[in-house]
Amino acid sequence: MDPGVHSKVKLFIAPTAMQIGELATATGLSRDTLRFYEKRGLLLSRRLANGYRDYPPEAVQWLCYLRAAQALGFTLAEIETGLPLLDDPAAAAPLLRDALARKLEDIDARIAGLSALRADLTRELARPEFGCPVLEEQAAA
């Protein structure tokens, strides 16, 4: 994630556990987003006696990783599937590389599909007799 001047991400490493508001401030994410990630099992917390959520300091780094993965086009479902990779980061590098290669292939396929759609639309608009397809069908019937 870009921790630049205009970024919502703060360079923040908490020495101790954080409550949800502190984590929201540190990451630039809303409390609702954090709760959503927690419901999906993407973010872990423990409940204190007063009912407050208590997040570990490494949650900031994890959420930055999660948002970076989303920015690269990975869905939450894909990120959830890849969670076991994080147990052994050294072994994960080739698997992450494969996942990125597959994502690139998906993007290329979408671009090809959009290019074909664009060509079809351009061809339709270039027809001198272009009109409403529904009206053309009704007139032909």
* 20-71 pLDDT, tens digit each: 999 999 999 999 999 999 999 899 888 888 888 899 988 998 899 899 889 9
Whether 117 has a pLDDT exceeding 60, the answer reads: yes
Question: Distance between CA 39 and CA 75 in Å, rounded?
Answer: 16
Q: Angle 20-27/31-40 helices, nearest 10 degrees?
A: 100
Q: What is the pLDDT of residue 5?
A: 44
Torsion of CA 35, 38, 42, 46, to 10 degrees: 130
Q: What is the pLDDT of residue 96?
A: 82
Whether 9 has a pLDDT exceeding 90, the answer reads: no
Over residues 101-113, the mean pLDDT reads 95
Q: What is the CATH code of the structural domain delimited by 1-81? A: 1.10.1660.10
